[in-house]
Amino acid sequence: MLLAAPALAGDPARGYAIASNRQLGACTLCHPGPFAGERIPADIAPDLRGAGARLDADQLRQRLIASPPDSIMPSYRRTDGLVNAASNRPILSDAQIEDVVAWLATLTTP
Ligand code: HEC
């Protein structure tokens, strides 16, 4: 069972807060994007601007939950293996995943 319950409606503002937080989502370590206050944007992963046009909500969710095995991107919701080493728990909760998906879905312009 990989997909989070669609009943959890994500909140884009909370999603942005998670994505831009260096301890939580830490997306800014790898991705450039519409992040306020990034003095030196990361450039080792695709720009997140336009991700909401390139991928639909299911694809975005799947990407966050279980990153492809050959990717350096962490799997944020998998419970087998790739988890937060400090807590031995998935990095993000189902609700937090939905928030990040909702935020990414708003990023429709490159
Ligand atoms: C350790 C580096 C790293 C981190 C941290 C990371 N990513 Fe990624 N991400 C990547 C790489 C590299 C790719 C593209 C190549 C691949 O699939 O491995 C990618 C691909 C993606 C894609 C698909 C992009 C597209 O346009 O096809 C999305 C969406 C995405 N990441 C979102 C996120 C979000 C949201 C976060 C934070 C919650 C995050 N990533 C954190 C490295 C990272």
Taking only the tens place, the pLDDT of each residue in 7-26 is 568 999 999 999 999 888 88
pLDDT for res 51: 98
**Hey, what amino acid is at 5?**
A
The finding on whether 101 has its CB within 6 A of some atom of ligand 1 is no
The finding on whether 92 has its CB within 6 A of some atom of ligand 1 is no
Contact between residue 30 and residue 45 where contact means Cβ atoms under 8 Å apart: yes
Which conformational region is residue 93 in: left (phi greater than 0), alpha (psi within -120 to 50 degrees), or beta? beta
Q: How far apart are CA 65 and CA 78, in angstroms?
A: 6
pLDDT for res 81: 52
The finding on whether 71 has its CB within 6 A of some atom of ligand 1 is yes
- Give buried/exposed letters for 51-65 (b at 16+ CB in 10 A, else e): bbeebeeeebbbbbb
| Ligand 1, atom 37: closest residue by C-alpha | 27
The arithmetic mean of pLDDT across residues 53-61, rounded, is 96
The finding on whether 19 has its CB within 6 A of some atom of ligand 1 is yes
| Ligand 1, atom 39: closest residue by C-alpha | 27
pLDDT for res 89: 63
Considering only residues 49 and 26, tell me which one the structure prediction assigns the higher pLDDT: 49
